[in-house]
Amino acid sequence: MKWTAGNRDNVEDVRAQSGGAGMRMGGLGLGGLLVVLILSWVTGVDFLSLVGPDAVSTGPSVSTGGGELRTTPEEEKLVDFVDAVMKDAQEMWQTKLGGQYRPTRAIIFRDATQSQCGFAQSATGPFYCPVDSLVYLDLGFFTELQQRFRAPGDFAQAYVLAHELGHHVQHLLGIETKVRQLQQARPDQQNALSVRLELQADCFAGVWGHEAAQSGRAAVGKVELETGDVEEGLNAAASIGDDRIQRMSGTRVAPDRFTHGSSEQRVMWFRRGLESGNAQACETFQ
In the Cβ-directed half-sphere of 75, how many Cα atoms lie within 13 Å?
A: 14
d(CA 184, CA 190): 8
d(CA 286, CA 277): 19
Q: Would you say residue 29 has pLDDT above 90?
A: no
pLDDT confidence of 119, banded at 50, 70, 90? confident
The arithmetic mean of pLDDT across residues 167-174, rounded, is 98
Q: Is residue 5 part of a domain?
A: no
Q: Would you say residue 37 has pLDDT above 80?
A: no
- Strand order across the 134-138 sheet: 11-13, 106-109, 134-138, 127-129
Q: Would you say residue 234 has pLDDT above 90?
A: yes
pTM as predicted: 0.83
pLDDT confidence of 125, banded at 50, 70, 90? confident
Share of the chain above pLDDT 90, in %: 70
Q: Is residue 73 part of a domain?
A: yes
What is the model's pLDDT at position 81?
98
Share of the chain above pLDDT 70, in %: 81
What is the model's pLDDT at position 124?
63
Task: For the chain, give the mean pLDDT.
Answer: 85
Candidate from 43-47, 131-135, 271-275 with smallest mean pLDDT: 43-47
Q: Is residue 4 part of a domain?
A: no
d(CA 128, CA 173): 15
pLDDT confidence of 190, banded at 50, 70, 90? very high
Q: Is residue 63 part of a domain?
A: yes
The arithmetic mean of pLDDT across residues 240-248, rounded, is 91
Q: Would you say residue 181 has pLDDT above 60?
A: yes
Q: Is residue 3 part of a domain?
A: no
Q: Would you say residue 145 has pLDDT above 80?
A: yes
Sign of CA dihedral 53, 256, 35, 199: negative
pLDDT in tens, 61-93: 333 345 678 899 999 999 999 999 999 999 999
pLDDT confidence of 60, banded at 50, 70, 90? very low
pLDDT confidence of 168, banded at 50, 70, 90? very high
Q: Would you say residue 54 has pLDDT above 70?
A: no
Strands 134-138 and 106-109: parallel
Q: What is the DSSP string of the chain?
A: -B------TTEEE-TTTS--TT--BTT-HHHHHHHHHHHHHHH---HHHHT-TTSB-SS-----S--PPP--HHHHHHHHHHHHHHHHHHHHHHHHHGGG-----EEEESS--EETTEEHHHH-SSEEETTTTEEEEETHHHHHHHHTS---SHHHHHHHHHHHHHHHHHHHTTHHHHHHHHHHH-GGGHHHHHHHHHHHHHHHHHHHHHHHTSTT-GGGT--B--TTHHHHHHHHHHHT-HHHHHHHTT----GGG-SS--HHHHHHHHHHHHHH--GGGG-TT-
User: How far does CA 150 lie from the centroid of its chain?
Assistant: 16
The arithmetic mean of pLDDT across residues 219-246, rounded, is 95
What is the model's pLDDT at position 41?
55
The arithmetic mean of pLDDT across residues 174-184, rounded, is 96
Structural domains in the chain (count) = 1
Q: Which residue range is the domain that position 31 belongs to? A: 11-282
Q: Would you say residue 172 has pLDDT above 80?
A: yes
Q: Is residue 118 part of a domain?
A: yes
Q: Is residue 60 part of a domain?
A: yes
Are 110 and 23 in contact by the 8 Å Cβ rule? The answer is no
Q: Is residue 160 part of a domain?
A: yes
Q: Would you say residue 233 has pLDDT above 50?
A: yes
Are 104 and 165 in contact by the 8 Å Cβ rule? The answer is yes
